[in-house]
Amino acid sequence: MREKRKSPDVVSEDPNNKKNRTQQTTMTKGGEVELDEDLHSRQLAVYGRETMRRLAGAHVLIAGLKGLGVEVAKNVILAGVKSVTLQDVGSVEKRDLGAQFYLTEEDVGKNRAEACRAKLQELNTAVTVETSTVDLTEDFVCGFQAVLLTDSTLDNALRLNDACHKHDPPVPFIKADTRGVFANVFCDFGSGFTVYDVDGEEPHKGIVASISNDSPALVTCVDDERLEFQDGELVTFSEVKGMPELNTCGPVRIKGVKAHSFFIEVDTTNFGQYERGGLVLQVKESVTRDFKSLREGLKEPGEFLLSDFAKLDRPPMLHLAFQALDQFQVKNKRLPAPGNAADGDEIVALTKALNTDNIDLDEAILKKFASGASGDLSPMAAMFGGIVGQEVVKACTGKFHPLFQFFYFDSLESIPAEILSPEEYAPQDSRYDSQIAVFGRSIQEKIQKMNVFLVGAGALGCEFVKNMACMGIACKDGKVTLTDDDIIEKSNLSRQFLFRDWDIKQPKSTVAAKAALAINPALNITALQERVSPDTETVFDDDFWDGLDVVVNALDNVNARLYVDSRCVYFQRPLLESGTLGTKCNTQMVIPEKTENYGASRDPPEKQAPMCTLHSFPFIIDHCLAWARSEFEGLYEKTPSEAVKYLSKPSEVADAFMATPDAATRETVEKVLDFLVTKRLKTYTECVSWARRMFQEYFFNKISQLTFTFPEDAKTSTGALFWSAPKRFPSVVKFSTSNPSHLMFVRAGANLMAEAHGVDREELSDDALAALINSVQIEDFVPKSGVKIETDPKATASSAGSMDDETIIADMLKKLEEGTKDLVGGSHKIAPISFEKDDDTNFHMDFITAMANMRAVNYQITEVDKLQAKLIAGRIIPAIATTTAMATGLVCLDLYKLLLDSPIEAYRNTFANLALPLFAMAEPIPPKYLEYNNMKWSLWDRWIIEGDVTVQELLDYFEERKLTAYSVSCGQSLIYNNFFPKHKERLPKKMSTLVQEISKLEIPPKRRHFDVVVAVEDEQEEDLDIPLISIRFR
């Protein structure tokens, strides 16, 4: 990397003056960047180490520190570049606070860059944050690895871009602006820019089943899953038996790809004959792109990146409109005034003058563009702060495909359909003037009175609450209720930007609310630490839901989303939904009566590996890690928990075991007996001995038994080789104290078991630990005949109990009773251990990594390091700040539409992938309606029956609507069914009495109703789905 040129006007921040000491990177003695992988685990899952190291050497210039500039700076600093220089010659105005969240009213009159530098520095003290307060020169900008210009004139951009484009090597240059609900981005990364990884996806893989001796050769793969290869891709082969030439011939091109086969452009006629085995792996190829300069691009822009296929003709017009806006600003020394008809006409005229290709122009849109151009909106800044921030990362690393080259966007649906009077847009000398300039004073007043329920204070939640504070939501009479039951962890700090290292272990919601108040002290926000679930319906009761204007989900799991979705449907409240996965994000608008709900469509469940594959026949590292985590939970959490349960109530637990005398119970009792009696550990030395013997059992004895039962030449009942793809024939691992992985397995296993047994740990050197291990006596293992090993992929659990199980369980329980007399009611400390992936000192991931890798060695599977093991075994969701910011910006643009009571055509559901980049926006799907007898309903409807009605009165209600109600239920209980004669006795009884007596329903004092499900038939005796029935009895 080139050294960045310094300038006398650049001021460096002294990191020693900062309280926040969260360091993202350090340097090794050899000068190589060493990453803090605990802090950056989620980001590393997206970028990988090499990209992160490239980032850590990059110097970035960000010019213009209004809303968009500060958003990009935040995201780039969190990503972990070497340095960021903030350049701005302007002074803070009160209206800047509507989108620039790191400015306060006390900063008015100060230089923008200097006013926000300290707060940006707090995000990551490993990044040098500097400022420049003078105009940019060509020499200065050419000393960076990426240059971003915002809020710049076109002439200035052309001058600086020319310098960057001509520099050797070219300096990646980005120009971006948001103007009201319009935005544009231009990227020029120079000629010959190399993209090392176009999409960031994992290379496609396949397991070979056969290869023909032909030209071209046909490769067939096992049919477990459909191949994802594409024609023309390069692949490599490994572990092919019988045709070793393919293992060494290097990458080969493929064609004719089908679901489970493809051809390779190789003549294998004279190769050996394929026997078995083989893996095929995609080789990801780099691409080189040549970018036009801005000067060239303005004349010949090429294809525009699209976001909304309903607006195919919009980008060419906006390409001219933004140029016209620049001309207006240069001429008039200002932007068009909101609602000013003359200014709008001038923008139209300037655009027409530029329209030499006679493209279609929509004057109404151009006038709206002009009217809102002076507005700087927080949601737009957030959305494009994510998009542009990702382009900066691409410029510095070559990771993912750059935006090529122009992107124009508008969210016209977010603003009033007609331009309002100039008086409606008149500035109020407030922080919201930039928003008033786009929406008008009346909408701003509605915004400040909103009641919002924000569920989740993680990465999405931090961005949302920041946007809400800037927009002025609930800053007058409204209220934001923010809830999250989680606490802050170190790994959160790389993307949940409201948190600092001194906040670790504090409640997320409390810290996020405090940080939001620092952005806007007028925000009326209440922070709760409650999980939104059936258990908290007395907290989030009917009055709470009835008082909401909108619910915003910022959750990270599907079940929680589904529950919140169900409550929003029940109470008919709008739900704004979003989620991220690495560079991908999706948003969904759930609007009462207008759209389907979140739960109306679901992704298919993830495919699970069969139990026999995990236990005996793994063929990828994911299987080894899933098995290792399962063993961890069994050894250190489930068995100790059962032991604690037994010691607390021995008789009751024993009776429960005897009530279900099956194989699973037998296994559980056996493990508890071992833990408390047979193999009870009382000293650390015993824990080390246990861990050493477990190594022998897992990686030598069990493998010896497996290969004895199924030798390498074993065949199935059909005569096929038993060990055919995808099965891999294993070999034993012999323990060695000179192998660090072997030592780590014993050290981690011993320390965890010591913790579980309440035994004091000992900090032993590797030599001392090795000496202790060498003193452990290991018995020779002799395989046994007749051992059953499960091979059925459909088997999911232990087999049914045998006749002997009850006797064996009773015998073990007797031994358990005798052996624990000194423990029951005593001071023996048993500590079940719950898996925690993000604490690098607790030995959890050390044990799982070592265990999985030993398993991998058994089966000749490529091992993984601790980070990769954490990502897979910890089921870590890849996450980066840029995607999160973009998602929340998109959602908040739709939040404006709620205030306008917009039709469904105005809303947008979005899928985006910043890696490609790709944006796909579409109208939400309307709900499905059912009709009968002049009635119409959807999932949004509830039929409400007033009064404390009897069963007969309920049936009459449906009879009047030409429906026959034949069954009424509440929860799991049947209240009435016309099939049962005795139920006729219930006809005169009050429904409120029956649901409490039969269903044991507890109706809170504040609740005025209860719900029942009624099954009905129409006049043709056909079942008909009807809404939930609410009986308002109070």
Are 573 and 592 a contacting pair, CB within 8 Å? yes
In this predicted structure, the answer to whether residue 1005 has a pLDDT above a threshold of 90 is no
The 3-state DSSP class for residue 322 equals helix
User: What single-letter amino acid sits at 1008?
Assistant: R
Q: What is the mean pLDDT of residues 983-1002?
A: 95
Contact 111/90 with Cβ under 8 angstroms?
yes
Q: What is the reported pTM? A: 0.93
Return the beta strands (E) in 260-340 as ranges.
Answer: 261-264, 279-283, 287-289
CB 210 within 8 A of CB 263: no
Contacts with 573 (C-beta within 8 Å, 6 or more apart), sequence order: 545, 548, 549, 550, 551, 567, 592
pLDDT tops 60 at residue 133 = yes
Q: Residue 534 corresponds to which tokens in the numbers above?
A: 């059936």
Query: Is residue 715 helix, strand or coil?
Result: strand
Distances (CA, A) of 464 to 400, 459, 460, 579: 26, 9, 6, 12
Average pLDDT over residues 872-882: 95
Phi then psi dihedrals of residue 530, to 5 deg: -105, 135
Q: Tokens 């001071």 map to which residue?
A: 827
Considering the chain, what percentage of its residues have pLDDT values greater than 70?
Answer: 96
Taking residues 302-331, report their average pLDDT.
97
d(CA 87, CA 83): 13
Q: Which residues pair with 175 in a beta bridge?
A: 149, 186
The whole-number pLDDT of residue 286 equals: 96
The rounded distance, in Å, linking the Cα atoms of 958 and 976 is 14
- Which residues have a Cβ under 8 Å from the Cβ of 106 and sit 6 or more positions away? none
The tokens for 715 are: 């065949």
Which amino acid, residue 75? N
Residue 943, SS3? strand
Mean pLDDT throughout 726-739? 96
| Helical residues (DSSP H) of 875-950, grouped into ranges | 881-899
Flag whether pLDDT at 111 surpasses 60: yes
Give residue for tokens 């290709």: 357
Which position has the token pair 């258990």?
535
Separation between Cα atoms, residue 851 and residue 864, nearest integer Å: 11
SS3 11: strand
533 contact partners, CB below 8 Å, separation of at least 6:
560, 563
User: Three-class SS of residue 86?
Assistant: strand
Average pLDDT, rounded, for the chain: 94
Residue that the structure tokens 């139990």 belong to: 611
Lowest mean pLDDT among 115-119, 785-789, 951-955: 785-789
Instruction: Specify the 3-state DSSP secondary structure of 1017.
Output: strand
Task: Output DSSP code: residue 16.
Answer: G
Of the chain, the percentage scoring pLDDT greater than 90 comes to 90
CA distances 585 to 595, 883, 912, 913, Å, are: 20, 7, 5, 7
Q: With contact defined as beta carbons under 8 Å apart, do 83 and 128 qualify?
A: yes
Neighbours of 274 (CB within 10 A): 22
The DSSP secondary-structure symbol of 677 reads: I
Residue type, 246: L
Averaged pLDDT for residues 900-921:
97
Task: State the pLDDT at residue 825.
Answer: 65
DSSP, res 897:
H
| Cβ-based neighbours of 496, under 8 Å, separated by 6 or more | 458, 459, 461, 462, 488, 508
Structure tokens at 843: 């030995």
Task: Count CB neighbours of 702 within 10 A.
Answer: 18
Confidence check: pLDDT of 844 > 70: yes
Neighbouring C-alpha atoms within 13 Å toward the C-beta of 633: 10
Return all residues near 973 (Cβ < 8 A) that are at least 6 apart: 995, 998, 999, 1000
Residues 551-601 pLDDT 10s: 999 999 999 999 999 999 999 999 999 999 999 999 999 999 999 999 998
**Which pair of tokens denotes residue 2?**
């080139």
Nearest Cα to 396, choosing from 72, 26, 29, 879? Answer: 72
DSSP codes joined into one string, 517-577: HHH-TT--EEEE----SGGGTTTS-HHHHHT-SEEEE--SSHHHHHHHHHHHHHHT--EEE
pLDDT tens-digit profile of 522-551?
999 999 999 999 999 999 999 999 999 999
Q: Is 249 a catalytic residue?
A: no
- Would you state the structure tokens that stand for residue 483, as one six-digit string? 């809830």
**C-alpha separations of 535 from 663, 973, 1007 in Å:** 34, 20, 16
Between CA 522 and CA 444 the distance in angstroms is 14
> Exposed, middle or buried: residue 923 (CB in 10 Å: 0-12, 13-18, 19+)?
middle
How far is 318 from 311, CA to CA, in rounded Å?
A: 11
Token representation of residue 170: 């070219």
pLDDT of 439 > 70? The answer is: yes
Contact (Cβ atoms closer than 8 angstroms) between residue 809 and residue 654 = no
Which residue, chain included where needed, has tokens 């948003």?
A: 587
d(CA 967, CA 955): 10
The encoded tokens of residue 873 equal 């075994």
- As a three-state string, the secondary structure of 410-431 is ECHHHCCCCCCCHHHHCCCCCC
782-831 pLDDT, tens digit each = 999 999 999 888 876 554 445 688 899 999 999 999 999 888 766 678 99
Interval 1-53: pLDDT, tens: 333 444 435 554 443 333 333 344 555 444 566 788 888 899 999 999 999 99
Q: Looking at the DSSP assignment, which residues form a beta bridge with residue 487?
A: 507
10 Å Cβ neighbour count for 765? 8
Catalytic residue from among 249, 462, 475, 612:
612
Tokens read off for 569: 């449907």
- Residue 1030 buriedness (CB in 10 A; 0-12 / 13-18 / 19+): middle
Other CB atoms closer than 10 Å to residue 248's CB: what's the count? 10
3-state helix, strand, coil in the chain (%, to 5): 40, 15, 40
Q: What is the dihedral of CA 217, 221, 227, 232, to 10 degrees?
A: -10
Q: How far apart are CA 79 and CA 188, in angstroms?
A: 21
Residue bearing the bigger pLDDT, 805 or 134: 134
Peptide bond before residue 917 is cis, with ω within 30 degrees of 0: yes
Q: Which two tokens stand for residue 245?
A: 């030439």
The residue assigned the tokens 């469940």 is 605
The token pair at 90 is 């302007």
| Mean pLDDT of the region 492-497 | 94
Q: What is the mean pLDDT of residues 164-182?
A: 98
Q: Is 799 exposed, middle or buried (0-12, 13-18, 19+ CB in 10 A)?
A: exposed
**Residue 971 dihedral angles phi and psi, to the nearest 5°:** 65, -130
